[in-house]
């Protein structure tokens, strides 16, 4: 996971730099997460918003013979993060892009947001097939595991789901299964600090009137391919920091982010989930357009609530 850091030193000859990691230095020393500030690097700048460690030198790099084709000769797709240079050279980006297009088509055929409704079950097979195609196409992806991928941070919309459990609940909290209620949207926001916020928009008779917000933290398994979210507090169904909320845990395994950073997939118990990356500010604009708050939940009876969109 990326942490707060500042540039510590720059080598103008090699264009390499080191960073000073301060993410956990400000915590009390008796905090289990406390860690003194430390130096990491060196790194090479790769683009305007991407940097990585320079490749380690080996005997072949010291040889006077002509080296193999450098990675720089193989274009890096827009939005990609390269973790394994050797895989990047031979990776079939076109096959992956085709698989992503298949997921977009299958998700676009769902009638309800994310397909979390029994009415969409007949379309799940197509979505499952499209996701499995992407899994096969990205089996040798040069991208880092999700735990080390900086593109995870930001806002994501769940656009596809084939979990029977979530379909029965018609969303994350189960409140979407109430009479005359439908899921209007499901969003997840991840911060570099390890915090996660889940937002569930519910509609009454087609009008967005409730925003349930769950807040917690996320982490990863040992190899960085599975992630777990633990929600500790929530604004639910008319209650700020609802006392009825006893916490919730969600786990996704085999998590992957597409080369362009636009799609994230994972497996849950009994199904797959598909997420679309939102551009910065897009989620806030959506919530404002629906007259819902951008921080905390709102619901019928909230004096600050602006009312449903006509």
Overall fold of domain 93-289: Lipocalin (2.40.128)
CB atoms inside a 10 Å sphere around CB 241 = 12
pLDDT of residue 278: 97
Q: What is the mean pLDDT of residues 8-31?
A: 65
Domain boundaries, the chain: 5-67, 93-289
Residue listed under structure tokens 């930001």: 154
Calculate mean pLDDT across residues 137-162: 96
Token pair in block for residue 118: 């029994």
Q: Where are the beta strands (DSSP E) in the chain?
A: 5-11, 16-21, 38-45, 51-52, 154-161, 181-190, 195-204, 207-220, 227-235, 248-257, 263-268, 271-277
- pLDDT band of residue 230 (cuts 50, 70, 90) is very high
pLDDT bracket for residue 269 (50, 70, 90): confident
Within 13 Å, how many C-alpha atoms sit on residue 93's CB side? Answer: 17
For 63, 135, 165, 173, 292, the CA distances from 24, given in Å and listed in that order, are 42, 35, 37, 33, 34
pTM of the model: 0.73
pLDDT greater than 70 at residue 308: no
Q: Which two tokens stand for residue 110?
A: 């769902």
Residue 46 pLDDT more than 90?
no
pLDDT at 227: 96
What distance in Å separates the CA atoms of residue 143 and residue 105, rounded to the nearest whole number? 24
Q: Would you state the pLDDT for residue 14?
A: 64
């Amino acid at each position: 996971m990326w942490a707060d850091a500042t540039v510590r030193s720059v080598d103008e000859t090699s264009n390499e730099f080191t960073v000073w990691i301060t993410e956990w230095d400000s915590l009390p020393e008796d905090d289990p997460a406390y860690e003194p500030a430390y130096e990491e690097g060196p790194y090479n700048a790769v683009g305007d918003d991407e940097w990585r460690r320079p490749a380690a030198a080996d005997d072949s790099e010291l040889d006077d013979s002509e080296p193999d084709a450098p990675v720089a000769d193989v274009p890096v797709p827009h939005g990609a993060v390269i973790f394994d240079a050797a895989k990047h050279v031979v990776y079939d980006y076109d096959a992956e892009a085709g698989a992503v297009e298949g997921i977009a088509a299958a998700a676009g055929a769902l009638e309800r947001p994310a397909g979390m409704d029994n009415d969409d079950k007949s379309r799940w097979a197509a979505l499952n097939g499209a996701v499995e195609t992407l899994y096969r196409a990205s089996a040798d992806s040069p991208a880092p595991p999700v735990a080390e991928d900086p593109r995870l941070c930001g806002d994501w919309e769940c656009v596809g789901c084939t979990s029977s459990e979530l379909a029965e609940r018609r969303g994350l909290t189960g409140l979407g299964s109430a009479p005359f209620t439908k899921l209007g949207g499901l969003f997840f926001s991840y911060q570099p600090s390890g915090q996660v916020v889940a937002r569930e928009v519910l509609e009454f008779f087609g009008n967005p009137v409730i925003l349930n917000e769950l807040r917690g933290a996320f982490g990863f398994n040992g190899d960085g391919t599975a992630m777990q979210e633990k929600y500790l507090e929530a604004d639910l169904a008319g209650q700020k920091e609802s006392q009825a909320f006893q916490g919730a845990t969600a786990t996704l395994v085999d998590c992957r982010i597409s080369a362009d950073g636009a799609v994230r997939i994972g497996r849950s118990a009994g199904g797959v989930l598909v997420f679309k990356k939102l551009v910065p500010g897009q989620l806030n604009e959506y919530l404002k357009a629906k007259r819902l708050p951008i921080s905390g939940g709102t619901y019928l009876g909230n004096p600050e609530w602006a009312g449903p969109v006509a």
